[in-house]
A and B are shown apart, each in its own frame.
Chain A
Amino acid sequence: MSDSLIGAGFGPPPPPPPATGSGPAPSTGAADASTADASTASTSTVGGAPGAPAAVVAPPLATRHSLGTAVRAGGERLDRRAAEVIDRSQIIEAMVDGQVLRGYAGDTAASLLGAHGRRTFFGSLHEQRPGGVRTADRFDQEAWVWVEGIGLTPAAAHLVRDGERLSAHQRRATTPSAVTPMARFHLAGRSRISRLAARGPVAPPWLAALRRSGTGAEQAEGLHSRVDVVVVGGGMAGLCAARAAADEGASVVLVEADDWLGGRLRWSGHFDEQQRLADIAVAVAGHPSITVMTSTIACETRPDGTVLTVERREGAEQVAVLRAGAVVLATGTSDRRLPFGGDHLPGVMTPSGVRRLVELWAVRPGEQALLCSDQRGYLANKFLAVQLNAIGVDVLDVLVLADGAGHLEAGGPLALEQVHLPSGRRYSVDLLVASFGAQLDPTLVNGLGGVVTRLPGTEQSVIGNLPANAAVVGDLAGATKVEETEVLAGAAGRRLARLVGESARRHRVAPPPAPVVVTGTEPSVLRPVSGLLDAALDLRVEVLDGFAASTAAATEHLVHTSRLGGLTPPARVVLADLARSAATSADLVDLVLAGGGPLGGPAAGALALLHRPAVRRSPMVDLHVGAGARFAPCDGWLEVLHYGDPDAELDALRNGVGVWDRSSGGWFAVRGPRAAAVVAEVAGRPVADDPLDEVRDPEPGGTRRVVRVGPDRWELFAALGHGASLEAELLAASLAVQPWEAVVAAQHEDSARVRIAGPSTVEVLETMGLTATPGRRERVRVGELDGWLLGHGVDDVELQVVAPAGRALWSAVLSAGDRLAARPVGAESFERSGRVTA
């Protein structure tokens, strides 16, 4: 057990590096032959004056394959790395896209293909774009492979088995089950989106999974495991904390996402630090009070010390619910990713991703590289440049981007080929290492009740409000030196062990059973958790994060997300089904938030913010306020109920003329080559041959009206209070086609609509120089305003202009009806008048 945990290449230790100081990883073999200064080896610029557009060209590819690498049975590998996790004595074969590729035991799909020169993987399902390895760890969501018997799975997280069949070509998923459960847990546990879920009243997706499973851990006895201390993270900090706690007599479970222990220090530390790490790892792995769970991700924590984990080996998954007396978080930090043009291209990597590929799998990440960072990352990047040079990567430049990553522009049809700088300089590279500091994932901290606060004006975060039975150690706590980490993590482990021990004595609780019993569930049990959670594949968190508007905008938002590639085809199907089953988009939101449907996780987290609705207003709202109107929310809009005397308003509608501001919601435009199909589904009848500009009711006295306004263009009007349901239906119908094939635009924001009704309507229109035809929509001119006149009936019309002209229209109508005693009326009297409000 110990050997497998520690990893194949973790000993014997490598010779000490020639350089001194605080630099990271040692180089070995032929790499040591080249320890040139990065500045001398890094740049070759061809071009004119600084700032002028210039191409930086690397030597021809043919000259750059010899240094430190060799084509071996397992692909093109670097010389043996000190920290590598592949076993070069065991050769495996995998069928990848019809081609037999040889690798080594311990290879992931990412490293196996990388060793054979493959850089593009299955990327975005929705956009059909290739993906590339980014961080090369279990949380890397950029590169995917299709594995026979498993389905889509992250390439960097899948250990290749001998004889396995894989595909890295673009291929659409055909069923929701095509995505492995682990993919979902990755994001459920680690994505920035799930942080939102923690804020809102949203059931975590894993809980929904357990509820649905017949053998869920929440329902069966003996499946929970009690333990004194759970340590999340098997790096130096986690190891020290675990050993210290165990030495104090506590039972400890150590959870590590990788297949081995050691964390980042495994490949980036000094020789003596790595030696200490190896010693501690051996001690922990062999400690009788410590249970080590590798290949396991901690997905969720709770303030009561519950930790939910998912272990994955060879495509099978196991869920464990650990009840811990105390929790130590030692998950470390990850490279911060900042968006820039082309940042999704294969070949764009983080520094850790590059180092992992090189040091753990002996795979050269590229041929020509450009290294970019902010000011703080410059020195580390210079060192990385030396390391890359040593393994035969031409580092063309090491840049500091003072203004952030947004100025970068990476380009290439399928993979990275060029990088453009704002100055006009252009680099031809196939590897761009973008380093912009580190970030921590607050999910587990939040689960314990802790709060992560970003220091104003900095990229640093502090963690506070942690309960007494929890601790954060290592990088997560801001430690910068290994010695400091060892001391502080050890102290934290001892403190928590004593705390748990004292608590047990005080409450006379029986000592927890050991070892840990893990709840086993098959992947198929978790598969029902599908739908939007699958969207995590290529979710653009920038869009989901912080969304807020109104409940009526929920569906729109989800559809908007799908346009960004956030929804997989199966997720779109699920969403469409749900949208159809929900009477209104507000219902849809409730459905999502209740966790009763297959939608959950990120989407639910984002939608939770919908509970801060902003009420929409008509452009004439100030005029109504001035006239003493009473308002009520309706369909997410502020609707005028009445102006103080509803009976008089009803009388005006019956005997004179009433003017109603109908700007609040319920007007939709559907356009595009497939618009007819979308409208037909909502209308319940074919609409393609409808006469132009004829107002039609799908059903007599119904709540919606349809007008064909041009080729491939329709407009729909909903009755008061039915706008949200119409919107939900329209958007659900539109999900079946590509976004640009049928655009559903809620145009109620764009227009001001004034309804004129009552026996004197015709006279008011005559005063304005207008004539209406019942059942027709006509273009008219009101003074200087262009608009439309909709004839709902002989004495019931609607004028429509652009929103900024709404006040002018309102004044013009009231002015024209002045001698006819026209008066503004609210929704209450209009409904009481018995008129159709659509």
Chain B
Amino acid sequence: MSTAQLLVGPLGPFEPDEDTHVVVREDGRWLVSERSTKAALRLSDANPCGTVAAFAAPSGHFATELGVEPGRAELFSDGLLIAGIAPGEWLALTPGTGAALAATLGGLAGGEEVVLVDRSGGLAVFRLTGASAGELLAELCDDVRSARSLADGAVLSSAVAGLRCTVVRDDLLPEELLAGFDLGGFGVLDLDELDATGGPPGEGPVDAEYEAPLVASYLLVCDRSLARELHTRVLTAGGPDGIEAEGFARYRSYHRDV
């Protein structure tokens, strides 16, 4: 396999490693690790994505069209995740390319001045998943006081393990519920499709808040070159909890209709 023209995340894998038996595969144009784990607490590579930062007037047309409040994140049907970082500032992550996403977002401007900066590759994205992920995050981040501090879909800018991060709670459906559903998105679950094909019993958008058996999951976004440090620090802190690292996995998630 030629790896010359493939995109590589901040953690690699840089090439197949015979010593560690890390299997490498191509996912789109990205070179990703096949490393997987069944650990209850895991730190996954979520880097293969496009990221765009958007800036506009906090209460202008673009903000209204986007409909994402500061401190909240929304998932859209095509896997696009938009996080409200601050009034007038958003960060969008997409399974596609940043350029395409910037063009899409630019279409929402409606004549208003909107600044879009393609930051694809400039940010590192990890996913911390597991029932005890909240506790670990609370240990690493002063602003997360307990596992319940951040609701699903909440966005927080703070320091995680001493490194500046944007944290997005983005809960997952348990994997067993996803067997046979290849949605191909960055992490979106089409509940209608699940229902139509015999998905999770009793599941539905209404009142999913209390019934959906979700697994706590957090996206951690930091500057690319700090990724290794963040990765190491989270793994070190989570060692007593049995945390394990894994490669890129297309988890499915959705934000409940809060």
Contact-size category for B:
35 or more
> How distant is the Cα of A812 from the Cα of B3 in the complex, in angstroms?
11
What 1/0 flags go to A794-812 for Cβ under 8 Å of B? 0000000011110110011
What 1/0 flags go to A401-413 for Cβ under 8 Å of B? 0111111010000
Chain B residues with Cβ below 8 Å from A549 are: 163-164, 223, 226
- Is B71 part of the binding interface, using a Cβ–Cβ cutoff of 8 Å? yes
Identify which of A459, A618, A807 contacts B145 (C-beta below 8 A). Answer: A459
Is there an interface contact between A560 and B86, defined as CB atoms closer than 8 Å?
yes
> How distant is the Cα of A50 from the Cα of B121 in the complex, in angstroms?
45
> How distant is the Cα of A455 from the Cα of B138 in the complex, in angstroms?
12
Chain A residues with Cβ below 8 Å from B196 are: none
Chain A residues with Cβ below 8 Å from B88 are: 563, 739-740
Q: Given A341-B69, A749-B223, do A803 and B121 touch, yes or no (CB 8 Å)?
A: yes
- Is A609 part of the binding interface, using a Cβ–Cβ cutoff of 8 Å? yes
> How distant is the Cα of A725 from the Cα of B118 in the complex, in angstroms?
24
Closest residue of A by beta carbon distance from B162: A548
Is there an interface contact between A740 and B113, defined as CB atoms closer than 8 Å?
yes
Is there an interface contact between A563 and B89, defined as CB atoms closer than 8 Å?
yes
Q: How far is the CB of B111 from chain A (nearest CB, A)?
A: 12
- Is B209 part of the binding interface, using a Cβ–Cβ cutoff of 8 Å? yes
- Is A11 part of the binding interface, using a Cβ–Cβ cutoff of 8 Å? no
What 1/0 flags go to A586-600 for Cβ under 8 Å of B? 000000000000000
Is there an interface contact between B151 and A740, defined as CB atoms closer than 8 Å?
no
Stretch at the interface among A214-222, A420-428, A826-834: A420-428
Is there an interface contact between A618 and B209, defined as CB atoms closer than 8 Å?
no
Is there an interface contact between B151 and A404, defined as CB atoms closer than 8 Å?
yes
- Is B154 part of the binding interface, using a Cβ–Cβ cutoff of 8 Å? yes
User: Which chain A residues numbered 40 to 58 have a C-beta less than 8 Å away from chain B?
Assistant: 50-53
- Is B231 part of the binding interface, using a Cβ–Cβ cutoff of 8 Å? no
Q: Given A617-B228, A803-B122, do A622 and B151 touch, yes or no (CB 8 Å)?
A: no
Closest residue of A by beta carbon distance from B62: A740
Is there an interface contact between A811 and B4, defined as CB atoms closer than 8 Å?
yes
Is there an interface contact between B143 and A545, defined as CB atoms closer than 8 Å?
yes
Identify which of B47, B164, B207 contacts A553 (C-beta below 8 A). Answer: B164
Identify which of B141, B207, B226 contacts A423 (C-beta below 8 A). Answer: B207
Is there an interface contact between A542 and B113, defined as CB atoms closer than 8 Å?
no
Stretch at the interface among A91-99, A147-155, A668-676: A668-676
- Is B76 part of the binding interface, using a Cβ–Cβ cutoff of 8 Å? no
Q: How far is the CB of B214 from chain A (nearest CB, A)?
A: 11
Chain B residues with Cβ below 8 Å from A127 are: 58, 87
> How distant is the Cα of A622 from the Cα of B225 in the complex, in angstroms?
12
- Is A60 part of the binding interface, using a Cβ–Cβ cutoff of 8 Å? no
Closest residue of B by beta carbon distance from A407: B151
Q: How far is the CB of A453 from chain B (nearest CB, A)?
A: 13
Q: How far is the CB of B219 from chain A (nearest CB, A)?
A: 16
Closest residue of B by beta carbon distance from A671: B115
What 1/0 flags go to B120-158 for Cβ under 8 Å of A? 111100000000000100000111011011111010111
Report which A residues bind B (CB closer than 8 A): 50-53, 127, 338-341, 402-407, 409, 420, 422-424, 454, 457, 459, 542-543, 545-549, 553, 557, 560, 563-565, 609, 612, 614, 616-619, 622, 637, 669, 671-673, 738-741, 743, 745, 747, 749-751, 783-785, 802-805, 807-808, 811-812
Would you list 21 pairs from A and B whose C-beta atoms are within 8 A, ordered by A residue? Answer: A51-B206, A52-B207, A338-B149, A405-B151, A407-B151, A542-B157, A542-B158, A548-B163, A553-B164, A560-B86, A563-B87, A609-B159, A616-B223, A616-B225, A672-B113, A738-B57, A739-B88, A743-B53, A784-B5, A785-B5, A805-B121
- Please give 19 more A-B residue pairs, beta carbons under 8 A apart, in addition to A402-B148, A614-B229: A51-B207, A340-B151, A404-B146, A406-B149, A422-B256, A542-B158, A545-B142, A548-B162, A549-B223, A564-B86, A614-B163, A617-B225, A739-B55, A740-B55, A743-B53, A745-B117, A803-B224, A804-B10, A808-B4
